Each structure stands twice: as C-alpha cells, then as structure tokens.
C-alpha cells in the first residue's frame, strides 16, 4: 500500500467514503448540492478566496491556536506526554468557527444572502451567527425546544448577534430534529439560502467541506508537534459527535501509519443502559440526513434518540468518513461515560487551570486512560475542541452543587 494515500482517496465524486456517505436528499436539494460542490471546488482554486479565509482565521478567529504541553496533567497521570490543541482559545470558544467562517465566505461567493443552520448546544449556532454578523448575512438558526431550555444563554448570544433562533417542537426536540427543520427550511428557500451544516455529516459535499475547513486543526498540530518534539505524535485523540473536530484533527495524520488515531464517542449513562450516543459502538448501518453511516435505530429503522450529558455529542449518527476510518481499521473508536467526562473536566480544571467543554472532556477522559498504558517518552496530542464556560450550569447540576 506504500505511496497510496488513504486521506486523499475519499470521498469519491459520488460523495462516498468506502460504502458510507452519499446524497440521500429530496430532489429539490440535489441541484443546490451540485452547485455547492462546483462552487466549492472553484473557490479552492481561487487564491483570493484562500487568502481571505486565511486572513479571517488569523486576524478574527485568532489562529494559530497553541499546542500546549500539559505538564501538570502529564505528571498527575504518570504516563505519556500530553499536548493539548487549544481550539478552546478560538473566538467564540470552540473549533466550530473554523467551518462557519469558511462556509459563510463560500455562501457570499455564491451570491447567497441568507444562511440557515442547526445547533444542538448552541456552539455551532453562535459560531454561525458570529460569521453572519461579520459578513453581513441574514441568519436563522433552528434549535430543539429541549436544547433551548438547557442553553438559554447561547440562545440570547445568538439573538444579540442579530440571528433569529427558531424553536423546533417536533420529534425529540433536540439536535436531530433541528437538522430536520433546517433541511426543510433549506428546501423551501433554496434559491437564496445556503445551509451551513455544523458537523462532518449530511449529504455530499458537506462532509468534505466541513473536513477541509476543520483540517487547519491537524495541519497546525502536525507542524507544532514537530517543532516541539522533533517528531510526529504516537497518538491523536479527539471526541466525536458528528465528528468535525475529530476529522479536522485526524485528516492530516491519516497517511502517517505510526500515528494512532482515537475517536471518543459519548457513552452517556453507559453503553449497557441503551442511553448513549455511541453509534459506532452500538448502532447499525442506516441513512439519516443525507448520509449512509452508523446510526442509532431500532429494528424497524426508526431513528433513536441519543443521550449524552454533552449536548454537542448528542446526535444519533457518526460522520461517514469516521465510519470509513473505523471499517478500514485506520482509527479506533471507544467511548466515555457522562461520569467519566465529568471527572476529567474536574481533573483538567484542577491540574492545568483549563475548564474544558463537556464534549472535549470525553477526549481528556480517554487520554487519561490511554496515557497510563504508554511509556513516558511517548506523545499524545488531544484536541481540546472547546471551552467549558457554557457547561458550568450543567456540571453544577450534575455534581449536585459540590465540586469534589
């Protein structure tokens, strides 16, 4: 297999990652997807577009983000050296802005004046609202009624940024229903509206576009770790809901056989309880929101609700490229429970003075386990995808008001 790049071989022009992905959408959206694909490929070849994106990532988002050696955490765990890729230091507090800015610039280039997006916890909604405020685009964000209740502050943040937040009252009233509503809105307003999908999910070309805009995480990390350690890391760890921070981090390392890739799913109350969001560990192959992927569903093909303390991981499917990396054995997927994530959140807060998002805490928890199995001269890089300020209420409630 020498010389053959796995990373660059997918997706195919049909949008397939192995058997995964594709374009399972109503006909009304097909032309929009084909136009988006063509506009995107064209933009990539335009130096002015690339330059503009680089400008905003540097001057507005605050890239590049540091690759921080977590010395205290490393010492506490007595294992491999741990580096944190500080995506939490981006403007708006998470990696989501990388993709939101990229797609908003693309929408402007396509002459679309309106944006629709979905959001779960509100991070992608805030990032999209921010990019739209910056680039003078009209924005509507769909959010499940349950999530609106849980994330009042993010709703208000979006409104301050000039975005209209629409409550979704159907189905389970969470992220998957927000995607349904955003897709319906897009079908109805496709002529003047672009859909900024927030994760590495959905119909082709979204999984590729989101991956490409998030690749900056892995590209910077690769350069930074070589500067600091003189070599590539032994392991790379990222949490995975739909999988946008993980694919952005993994992709530049996929062809480096010496680098182990670990994706961490949310095990919620535990895989055995059925209350989790681990589609790779506990789902079957299926189609939702345009893509063939691992999906939480019952024997009738009805989609099941995902469960996680972290709203950003609370989605019943996994992005098609992750499903593919799992099937070919290039990445390993494991899961972390709510309780383990809460513990890791406290561990990182105490040892490093960094309050991670609940999503990222899953990656930290897995890293804590992994580091102990590795030698002290080995190196792990973790994607710290977001900051935890948004989760303080949830964490406080989960810990019963007591921090251990």
Partner 1 sequence: MTTLQQAIEQAKAAGHKAFIPYIMAGDGGLETIKPTILKLQQLKVTAIEVGIPFTDPVADGPTIERAGERALAAGVTLRSVLQTLASFRDEITVPLVVMTYFNPVLAYGLKPFAQACVAGGVKGLIVPDVPLEESELLREALNPYGIDVVQLVSLTSPPERIARIAAASQGFVYAVTVNGITGARSRFANNLEQHFASLNQASPIPVLAGFGISTPEQVKKMGALGDGVIVGSAIVTALHEGDLATVEALVAASKGMLEKSTL
- Residues with catalytic annotation? 96, 118, 385
Comparing CB distances to partner 1, the nearer of 116 and 364 is 116
Pair type for strands 235-239 and 379-384: parallel
Alpha carbons 254 and 137: distance in angstroms, whole number: 35
Smallest distance from the beta carbon of 18 to partner 1, in angstroms? 15
Comparing CB distances to partner 1, the nearer of 98 and 297 is 297
Q: How far is CA 55 from CA 124, 126, 378, in A?
A: 21, 20, 35
User: In terms of DSSP H, where are the helices of 286-373?
Assistant: 320-327, 338-352, 358-372
How far is C-alpha 357 from the chain's CA centre? 12
Smallest distance from the beta carbon of 85 to partner 1, in angstroms? 34
Alpha carbons 34 and 253: distance in angstroms, whole number: 29
Comparing CB distances to partner 1, the nearer of 177 and 359 is 177
Alpha carbons 261 and 258: distance in angstroms, whole number: 10
Smallest distance from the beta carbon of 13 to partner 1, in angstroms? 10
Smallest distance from the beta carbon of 36 to partner 1, in angstroms? 13
Comparing CB distances to partner 1, the nearer of 174 and 214 is 174
Residues in the chain, total:
404
306 φ/ψ angles, rounded to the nearest 5 degrees? -90, 155
Please give the residue ranges that form the binding site for partner 1 (CB under 8 A): 14, 22-32, 170-171, 176-177, 180, 183-184, 187-191, 284-290, 295, 297, 299-303
Comparing CB distances to partner 1, the nearer of 192 and 389 is 192
Q: How far is CA 289 from CA 172, 225, 249, 312, in A?
A: 15, 36, 24, 17
Helix axes 338-352, 358-372, angle to 10 degrees: 80
């Amino acid at each position: 297999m020498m010389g053959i790049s796995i990373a660059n071989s997918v997706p195919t022009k049909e949008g397939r990652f192995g058997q995964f992905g594709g374009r399972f959408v109503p006909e009304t959206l097909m032309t929009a997807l084909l136009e988006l694909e063509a506009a995107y490929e064209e933009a990539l070849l335009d130096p002015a577009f690339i330059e503009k994106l680089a400008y905003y990532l540097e001057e507005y988002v605050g890239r590049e983000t540091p690759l921080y050696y977590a010395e205290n955490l490393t010492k506490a765990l007595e294992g491999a050296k741990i580096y944190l890729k500080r995506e939490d230091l981006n403007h708006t507090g998470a990696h989501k802005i990388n993709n939101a800015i990229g797609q908003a610039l693309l929408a402007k280039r396509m002459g679309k004046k309106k944006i629709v997006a979905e959001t779960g916890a509100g991070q992608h909604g805030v990032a999209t609202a921010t990019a739209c405020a910056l680039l003078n685009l009209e924005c509507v964000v769909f959010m499940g009624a349950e999530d609106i209740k849980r994330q009042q502050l993010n709703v208000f943040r979006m409104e301050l940024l000039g975005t209209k937040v629409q409550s979704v009252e159907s189905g389970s009233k969470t992220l998957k229903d927000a995607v349904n509503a955003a897709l319906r809105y897009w079908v109805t307003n496709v002529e003047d509206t672009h859909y900024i999908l927030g994760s590495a999910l959905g119909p082709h070309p979204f999984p590729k576009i989101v991956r490409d805009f998030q690749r900056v995480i892995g590209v910077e990390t690769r350069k930074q770790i070589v500067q600091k350690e003189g070599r590539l890391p032994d392991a790379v760890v990222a949490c995975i809901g739909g999988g946008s921070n993980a694919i952005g981090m993994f992709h530049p390392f996929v062809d480096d056989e010496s680098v182990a890739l670990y994706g961490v799913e949310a095990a919620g109350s535990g895989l055995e309880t059925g209350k989790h969001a681990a589609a790779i560990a506990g789902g079957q192959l299926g189609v939702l929101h345009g893509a063939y992927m691992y999906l939480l569903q019952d024997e009738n093909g009805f989609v099941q609700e995902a469960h996680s303390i972290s709203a950003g991981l609370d989605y019943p499917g996994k992005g098609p490229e992750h499903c593919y990396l799992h099937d070919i054995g290039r990445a390993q997927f494991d899961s972390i429970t709510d309780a383990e994530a809460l513990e890791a959140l406290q561990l990182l807060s105490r040892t490093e003075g960094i309050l991670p998002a609940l999503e990222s805490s899953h990656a930290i928890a897995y890293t804590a386990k992994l580091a102990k199995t590795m030698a002290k001269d080995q190196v792990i890089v973790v994607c710290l995808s977001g900051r935890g300020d948004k989760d303080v209420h949830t964490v406080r409630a989960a810990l019963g008001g007591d921090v251990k």
